[in-house]
Amino acid sequence: MFGWIVGGQTSNPGVYSPCMNLTSSDTRALLQEDKIALEYFQRSTTRNSKGRYSVSLPKKTPSISLGESRSLALKRYQQNKKSLMKKNQWQAFHLGLDEYRVLGHAELVPKADLLQPKGEVFYLPTHGVIKESSSTTKLRIVFDGSAVSSNGRSLNEILLQGPSLYPLLSTVIAQFRMHKIGMSADISKMFREIGLAEPDRDLHRFLHENSDGQIQDWQMCRVTFGITSSPFLASKALLQVAEDHKNTFPKAAQVVNQSFYVDDCLTGADSLIEAKQLRRDLNSLLSLACFTLRKWRSNSCHYSIRMNAYLLIYLCMHVCMYPFKCMYPFKCMLFFLVKCIILKNDYHLE
């Protein structure tokens, strides 16, 4: 956790000699429920002919006891529509759900399945979250897995959360500082690039209007944002593709294991040739599981990595000293600051 960082100008400005002894202090222990979730993932996960992983929901008990949930989902849908229409965002929300159908991420519930007992299915309320600062998705569709059914139980309540498989953020940033050329990217629609096993799609139903304004019953075919087990399933699938293809892409597999935090990649190389090759290998490796890396950014190889060192060191120390008190929003802000401070020059690595 503690150590020394020495920096400054040298007599030869062209000299770049990183010297750092980095020791990870990640001592997070797995709970019994975490071990069960990991074992269940290994036992139930499959891959289709395109390489896409299909996962099952890790449940606390085999038997499901949920109440009726469609009426609440309908009420929330109507409330959300009214709210978004006042903000002139309803059309964007409607088109966003339509995209799920176009991309094959959701499908209509088969008519025969509409007759299933109400306690064996779950309808997820949906709502839209507006994020003006986003460069790709201004309105994010969120599914509420914590909404309670008629018997007071929610979907999230019956699922295992699974362990956090991300490396410590302080370690990711410290490793990133070792590189001469910094690189960052993120995975497009990470959760929705992972398939959901057919038996579990009944627990991922939602309501959506067709072009005639008629309410229809839909179900998700992919891992869904807002479900307690989704972060675990997504991160484990990402690590699994690295494990499955580490012999073909050893360097890229190492980056996936050590330099990803959620869907963000923060890595680098010591030469332009190495940076280009790493970018190609990462794209090739993740494409084997239908993941797509986007928003590649880098500093120019001729642009020395200069930054507000005091700010970065302060943030890194805060994460190191308070790893469990440092909440997810702060960690996202830290990633954003690192990208802005260090990668402030775009550099294309095609």
Nearest CA among 231, 216, 283, 212 for reference residue 252:
283
Note the pLDDT tens digit of each residue in 188-234: 999 999 999 999 999 999 999 988 889 999 999 999 989 999 999 99
Nearest CA among 241, 235, 59, 71 for reference residue 156:
59
The widest CA-to-CA distance across the chain, in whole angstroms, is: 78
Is residue 340 scored above 80 in pLDDT?
no
pTM: 0.79
More confident residue, 10 or 186: 186
Nearest CA among 286, 282, 257 for reference residue 269:
282
pLDDT at 44: 96
pLDDT at 157: 94
Window from 128-132, 163-167, 209-213, 251-255 with minimum mean pLDDT = 128-132
Do 316 and 170 form a contact (C-beta atoms < 8 A)?
Answer: yes
Instruction: Categorize the per-residue pLDDT at 135 as very low, low, confident or very high, splitting at 50, 70 and 90.
Output: low
Do 116 and 202 form a contact (C-beta atoms < 8 A)?
Answer: yes
Residues 6+ apart with CB under 8 A from 9: none
pLDDT at 35: 94
Nearest CA among 37, 42, 26 for reference residue 240:
42
**What average pLDDT does this structure show over 305-325?**
47
Is residue 3 scored above 60 in pLDDT?
no
Count CA atoms within 13 Å of residue 142 on its CB side.
Answer: 16
* Highest averaged pLDDT of the listed ranges 52-66, 124-138, 228-242, 300-314: 228-242
pLDDT at 235: 96
**What average pLDDT does this structure show over 62-71?**
87
More confident residue, 303 or 340: 340
pLDDT at 306: 37
**What average pLDDT does this structure show over 41-66?**
92
pLDDT at 339: 55
**What average pLDDT does this structure show over 295-306?**
60
pLDDT at 332: 57
Do 47 and 53 form a contact (C-beta atoms < 8 A)?
Answer: yes
Q: State the average pLDDT for the chain.
A: 83
Helix (DSSP H) and strand (DSSP E) numbers for the chain: 9, 12
As a whole-number percent, the residues of the chain with pLDDT over 70 amount to 76
Question: Strands (DSSP E) along 244-344, which ranges?
Answer: 260-261, 264-269, 293-298
Note the pLDDT tens digit of each residue in 139-185: 888 899 999 999 999 999 999 999 999 888 888 888 888 888 899 99
Do 317 and 3 form a contact (C-beta atoms < 8 A)?
Answer: no
Tell me the three state secondary structure of residue 7: coil
Window from 193-197, 309-313, 345-349 with minimum mean pLDDT = 309-313
* Highest averaged pLDDT of the listed ranges 56-65, 187-196, 306-315: 187-196
Is residue 136 scored above 70 in pLDDT?
no
Is residue 87 scored above 70 in pLDDT?
yes
Note the pLDDT tens digit of each residue in 258-278: 999 989 999 999 988 899 999
Note the pLDDT tens digit of each residue in 93-125: 999 999 999 999 999 999 999 999 888 999 999
Do 1 and 321 form a contact (C-beta atoms < 8 A)?
Answer: yes
Nearest CA among 126, 135, 92, 89 for reference residue 106:
126
Is residue 307 scored above 50 in pLDDT?
no
C-alpha span between 157 and 348 (Å, rounded) = 45
**What average pLDDT does this structure show over 60-68?**
84
pLDDT at 179: 87
